[in-house]
Amino acid sequence: MSDEQGFRPVRAVRAYEAIVEQVEDALARGSLQPGSRLPSERDLMAQFAVSRSTVREALRVLESSGLIRSRPGDPHGAEVLPFSAGTLRKSVLRLARVEELSLGELVQFRMILEGSANLLAARLCTDDQVAAMEAALGRMREAIGSGHAAFSEADVAFHEIVAQASGNMLIQVCAEVVRDVVLRLIAGKLDLAPDRAELMRQSLRHHTEVFEAVRRGDGAEAARLARANLYEYYASYVPEEQRPMLEALIDAEALD
Protein backbone atom coordinates (compact mmCIF):
# COMPACT_ATOMS: atom_id res chain seq x y z
CA MET A 1 0.00 0.00 0.00
CA SER A 2 1.30 3.46 -0.85
CA ASP A 3 1.30 6.60 1.31
CA GLU A 4 -2.20 7.46 0.07
CA GLN A 5 -3.70 6.77 3.52
CA GLY A 6 -2.05 9.95 4.77
CA PHE A 7 -0.85 8.51 8.07
CA ARG A 8 0.67 11.16 10.33
CA PRO A 9 3.67 10.92 12.70
CA VAL A 10 2.56 10.39 16.29
CA ARG A 11 3.91 11.21 19.73
CA ALA A 12 6.23 8.69 21.35
CA VAL A 13 4.13 8.47 24.54
CA ARG A 14 1.55 5.71 24.03
CA ALA A 15 2.11 6.17 20.35
CA TYR A 16 0.67 2.76 19.54
CA GLU A 17 -2.78 4.01 20.61
CA ALA A 18 -2.56 6.86 18.12
CA ILE A 19 -1.58 4.39 15.40
CA VAL A 20 -4.57 2.21 16.26
CA GLU A 21 -6.83 5.27 16.13
CA GLN A 22 -5.59 6.28 12.68
CA VAL A 23 -6.01 2.77 11.28
CA GLU A 24 -9.51 2.47 12.76
CA ASP A 25 -10.37 5.85 11.24
CA ALA A 26 -9.14 4.66 7.82
CA LEU A 27 -11.36 1.60 8.16
CA ALA A 28 -14.36 3.72 9.15
CA ARG A 29 -13.82 6.04 6.17
CA GLY A 30 -13.47 3.09 3.80
CA SER A 31 -9.99 4.01 2.63
CA LEU A 32 -8.90 0.63 4.01
CA GLN A 33 -10.99 -2.23 2.65
CA PRO A 34 -11.26 -5.89 3.72
CA GLY A 35 -8.66 -7.93 1.91
CA SER A 36 -6.27 -5.02 1.49
CA ARG A 37 -3.01 -4.83 3.41
CA LEU A 38 -1.32 -2.34 5.65
CA PRO A 39 2.21 -1.25 4.77
CA SER A 40 5.06 -3.46 6.00
CA GLU A 41 6.36 -2.91 9.52
CA ARG A 42 9.32 -0.99 8.12
CA ASP A 43 7.06 1.30 6.10
CA LEU A 44 4.76 1.83 9.09
CA MET A 45 7.77 2.76 11.22
CA ALA A 46 8.69 5.41 8.65
CA GLN A 47 5.15 6.74 8.15
CA PHE A 48 4.37 7.00 11.85
CA ALA A 49 7.93 7.93 12.88
CA VAL A 50 8.00 5.33 15.67
CA SER A 51 9.99 2.26 16.69
CA ARG A 52 9.34 -1.31 15.54
CA SER A 53 8.12 -2.28 19.03
CA THR A 54 5.51 0.51 18.90
CA VAL A 55 4.29 -0.65 15.49
CA ARG A 56 4.07 -4.25 16.68
CA GLU A 57 2.10 -3.24 19.77
CA ALA A 58 -0.37 -1.34 17.57
CA LEU A 59 -0.70 -4.35 15.27
CA ARG A 60 -1.25 -6.61 18.28
CA VAL A 61 -4.11 -4.41 19.50
CA LEU A 62 -5.68 -4.24 16.05
CA GLU A 63 -5.43 -8.01 15.70
CA SER A 64 -6.95 -8.64 19.13
CA SER A 65 -9.88 -6.46 18.04
CA GLY A 66 -10.41 -8.70 15.02
CA LEU A 67 -9.58 -5.94 12.53
CA ILE A 68 -6.41 -7.38 10.97
CA ARG A 69 -4.39 -10.58 10.66
CA SER A 70 -0.73 -9.91 11.33
CA ARG A 71 2.51 -11.92 11.29
CA PRO A 72 5.64 -10.24 12.70
CA GLY A 73 8.02 -9.34 9.92
CA ASP A 74 5.56 -10.12 7.13
CA PRO A 75 6.92 -8.16 4.12
CA HIS A 76 3.42 -7.96 2.64
CA GLY A 77 1.95 -6.19 5.66
CA ALA A 78 -1.00 -7.10 7.86
CA GLU A 79 -4.22 -8.15 6.12
CA VAL A 80 -7.42 -6.19 6.78
CA LEU A 81 -10.14 -8.65 7.79
CA PRO A 82 -13.79 -8.51 6.69
CA PHE A 83 -16.52 -7.39 9.07
CA SER A 84 -17.88 -10.05 11.41
CA ALA A 85 -20.36 -10.23 14.26
CA GLY A 86 -17.45 -11.05 16.58
CA THR A 87 -15.67 -7.83 15.65
CA LEU A 88 -18.82 -5.82 16.26
CA ARG A 89 -19.37 -7.59 19.58
CA LYS A 90 -15.90 -6.61 20.81
CA SER A 91 -16.43 -2.97 19.81
CA VAL A 92 -19.82 -2.73 21.51
CA LEU A 93 -18.46 -4.45 24.61
CA ARG A 94 -15.69 -1.88 24.93
CA LEU A 95 -18.25 0.92 24.61
CA ALA A 96 -20.65 -0.63 27.13
CA ARG A 97 -17.89 -0.98 29.72
CA VAL A 98 -16.68 2.62 29.70
CA GLU A 99 -16.98 4.25 33.11
CA GLU A 100 -18.84 7.26 31.72
CA LEU A 101 -21.92 5.10 31.03
CA SER A 102 -24.29 4.86 33.99
CA LEU A 103 -26.43 1.86 34.86
CA GLY A 104 -29.44 4.00 33.96
CA GLU A 105 -28.11 4.59 30.44
CA LEU A 106 -27.38 0.91 29.94
CA VAL A 107 -30.81 -0.18 31.14
CA GLN A 108 -32.46 2.52 29.03
CA PHE A 109 -30.56 1.31 25.96
CA ARG A 110 -31.61 -2.25 26.70
CA MET A 111 -35.25 -1.12 26.91
CA ILE A 112 -34.90 0.50 23.48
CA LEU A 113 -33.21 -2.57 21.97
CA GLU A 114 -35.59 -5.13 23.46
CA GLY A 115 -38.63 -3.08 22.51
CA SER A 116 -37.46 -2.81 18.90
CA ALA A 117 -36.51 -6.50 18.76
CA ASN A 118 -39.94 -7.53 20.03
CA LEU A 119 -41.75 -5.27 17.59
CA LEU A 120 -39.80 -6.66 14.62
CA ALA A 121 -40.07 -10.24 15.83
CA ALA A 122 -43.84 -9.95 16.06
CA ARG A 123 -43.96 -8.88 12.42
CA LEU A 124 -41.18 -11.00 10.93
CA CYS A 125 -40.77 -14.20 12.94
CA THR A 126 -41.12 -17.61 11.32
CA ASP A 127 -43.09 -20.57 12.62
CA ASP A 128 -39.82 -22.25 13.59
CA GLN A 129 -38.77 -19.21 15.63
CA VAL A 130 -42.14 -19.11 17.40
CA ALA A 131 -41.70 -22.79 18.25
CA ALA A 132 -38.16 -22.11 19.55
CA MET A 133 -39.43 -19.28 21.79
CA GLU A 134 -42.13 -21.54 23.19
CA ALA A 135 -39.56 -24.26 23.86
CA ALA A 136 -37.34 -21.76 25.70
CA LEU A 137 -40.32 -20.77 27.86
CA GLY A 138 -40.86 -24.44 28.66
CA ARG A 139 -37.24 -24.78 29.79
CA MET A 140 -37.61 -21.66 31.95
CA ARG A 141 -40.70 -23.15 33.58
CA GLU A 142 -38.95 -26.44 34.30
CA ALA A 143 -35.84 -24.69 35.66
CA ILE A 144 -37.65 -22.77 38.43
CA GLY A 145 -37.35 -25.77 40.68
CA SER A 146 -33.81 -26.73 39.68
CA GLY A 147 -31.88 -23.49 40.09
CA HIS A 148 -31.15 -20.03 38.75
CA ALA A 149 -28.33 -21.08 36.40
CA ALA A 150 -30.56 -23.30 34.27
CA PHE A 151 -33.33 -20.68 34.34
CA SER A 152 -30.92 -17.94 33.19
CA GLU A 153 -29.68 -20.11 30.33
CA ALA A 154 -33.22 -20.61 29.04
CA ASP A 155 -33.98 -16.91 29.63
CA VAL A 156 -31.00 -15.86 27.51
CA ALA A 157 -32.01 -18.34 24.79
CA PHE A 158 -35.47 -16.77 24.61
CA HIS A 159 -34.03 -13.28 24.15
CA GLU A 160 -31.55 -14.50 21.54
CA ILE A 161 -34.31 -16.12 19.49
CA VAL A 162 -36.38 -12.91 19.60
CA ALA A 163 -33.34 -10.86 18.55
CA GLN A 164 -32.64 -13.27 15.69
CA ALA A 165 -36.26 -13.01 14.60
CA SER A 166 -35.77 -9.24 14.26
CA GLY A 167 -33.46 -9.99 11.33
CA ASN A 168 -31.04 -7.25 12.40
CA MET A 169 -27.49 -8.21 13.35
CA LEU A 170 -26.88 -4.89 15.14
CA ILE A 171 -29.85 -5.52 17.41
CA GLN A 172 -28.66 -9.08 18.07
CA VAL A 173 -25.11 -8.10 19.00
CA CYS A 174 -25.92 -4.93 20.93
CA ALA A 175 -28.73 -6.59 22.88
CA GLU A 176 -26.47 -9.49 23.86
CA VAL A 177 -23.62 -7.26 25.02
CA VAL A 178 -25.76 -4.74 26.93
CA ARG A 179 -27.76 -7.52 28.61
CA ASP A 180 -24.57 -9.24 29.81
CA VAL A 181 -23.01 -6.00 31.09
CA VAL A 182 -26.16 -4.98 33.00
CA LEU A 183 -26.50 -8.42 34.58
CA ARG A 184 -22.87 -8.36 35.71
CA LEU A 185 -23.34 -4.92 37.26
CA ILE A 186 -26.30 -6.03 39.38
CA ALA A 187 -25.23 -9.64 39.99
CA GLY A 188 -24.41 -9.01 43.65
CA LYS A 189 -27.81 -7.43 44.29
CA LEU A 190 -29.60 -10.34 42.62
CA ASP A 191 -27.74 -12.75 44.88
CA LEU A 192 -29.19 -10.89 47.90
CA ALA A 193 -32.79 -11.11 46.66
CA PRO A 194 -34.94 -12.65 49.43
CA ASP A 195 -36.93 -14.91 47.08
CA ARG A 196 -35.08 -15.97 43.95
CA ALA A 197 -37.84 -18.41 43.00
CA GLU A 198 -40.42 -15.60 42.97
CA LEU A 199 -38.12 -13.52 40.78
CA MET A 200 -37.96 -16.41 38.33
CA ARG A 201 -41.75 -16.86 38.36
CA GLN A 202 -42.20 -13.13 37.74
CA SER A 203 -39.72 -13.26 34.87
CA LEU A 204 -41.52 -16.25 33.37
CA ARG A 205 -44.84 -14.38 33.49
CA HIS A 206 -43.28 -11.41 31.72
CA HIS A 207 -41.69 -13.57 29.03
CA THR A 208 -44.96 -15.42 28.50
CA GLU A 209 -46.80 -12.11 27.97
CA VAL A 210 -44.20 -11.06 25.41
CA PHE A 211 -44.41 -14.42 23.66
CA GLU A 212 -48.19 -14.24 23.33
CA ALA A 213 -47.97 -10.74 21.83
CA VAL A 214 -45.27 -11.86 19.39
CA ARG A 215 -47.21 -14.97 18.40
CA ARG A 216 -50.36 -13.01 17.56
CA GLY A 217 -48.31 -10.44 15.63
CA ASP A 218 -48.99 -7.50 17.95
CA GLY A 219 -45.68 -5.67 17.59
CA ALA A 220 -46.75 -2.53 19.45
CA GLU A 221 -47.87 -4.55 22.48
CA ALA A 222 -44.76 -6.73 22.41
CA ALA A 223 -42.58 -3.62 22.41
CA ARG A 224 -44.58 -1.98 25.22
CA LEU A 225 -44.32 -5.12 27.33
CA ALA A 226 -40.56 -5.33 26.84
CA ARG A 227 -40.04 -1.79 28.07
CA ALA A 228 -42.50 -2.10 30.97
CA ASN A 229 -41.15 -5.46 32.13
CA LEU A 230 -37.54 -4.31 32.02
CA TYR A 231 -38.47 -1.21 33.99
CA GLU A 232 -40.24 -3.29 36.62
CA TYR A 233 -37.28 -5.66 36.90
CA TYR A 234 -34.42 -3.14 36.92
CA ALA A 235 -35.75 0.19 38.23
CA SER A 236 -35.04 -0.62 41.86
CA TYR A 237 -31.37 -1.25 41.04
CA VAL A 238 -30.97 2.07 39.20
CA PRO A 239 -30.16 5.21 41.27
CA GLU A 240 -33.31 7.26 41.82
CA GLU A 241 -31.98 10.30 39.94
CA GLN A 242 -31.50 8.14 36.81
CA ARG A 243 -34.97 6.55 36.81
CA PRO A 244 -36.65 9.30 34.73
CA MET A 245 -34.49 8.07 31.84
CA LEU A 246 -36.33 4.76 32.05
CA GLU A 247 -39.75 6.20 32.81
CA ALA A 248 -39.63 8.23 29.61
CA LEU A 249 -39.79 4.97 27.63
CA ILE A 250 -42.89 3.44 29.23
CA ASP A 251 -46.56 4.32 29.13
CA ALA A 252 -47.71 6.69 31.86
CA GLU A 253 -50.31 4.28 33.25
CA ALA A 254 -47.57 1.75 33.99
CA LEU A 255 -46.14 4.20 36.55
CA ASP A 256 -49.41 4.59 38.45
- Tens of pLDDT along 60-74? 999 988 888 988 777
Closest CA to 230 of 110, 136, 140: 110
User: Helix, strand, coil proportions of the chain in percent (round to 5)?
Assistant: 70, 0, 25
Q: How many of the other CB atoms lie within 10 Å of CB of 181? A: 19
* Residue 128 shares a structural domain with residue 179: yes
Domain boundary (82, 116, 140) is at: 82
Question: What's the pTM value of the predicted model, to 2 decimals?
Answer: 0.71
* Residue 120 shares a structural domain with residue 243: yes
Structural domain boundaries enclosing 144: 86-255
* Residue 93 shares a structural domain with residue 49: no
pLDDT in the model for residue 120: 98
- Tens of pLDDT along 187-217? 766 666 677 788 889 999 999 999 999 999 9
* Residue 30 shares a structural domain with residue 65: yes
- CA 167 distance to own-chain centroid: 15
- Tens of pLDDT along 113-142? 999 999 999 999 999 999 999 999 999 999
CATH code of the domain in which 50 resides? 1.10.10.10
* Residue 100 shares a structural domain with residue 78: no
- Residue-level length of the chain: 256
Domain boundary (82, 117, 141) is at: 82
* Residue 139 shares a structural domain with residue 151: yes
* Residue 112 shares a structural domain with residue 234: yes
CATH code of the domain in which 115 resides? 1.20.120.530
What whole-number distance in Å separates Cα of residue 98 and Cα of residue 181? 11
* Residue 173 shares a structural domain with residue 112: yes
* Residue 52 shares a structural domain with residue 97: no
* Residue 41 shares a structural domain with residue 90: no
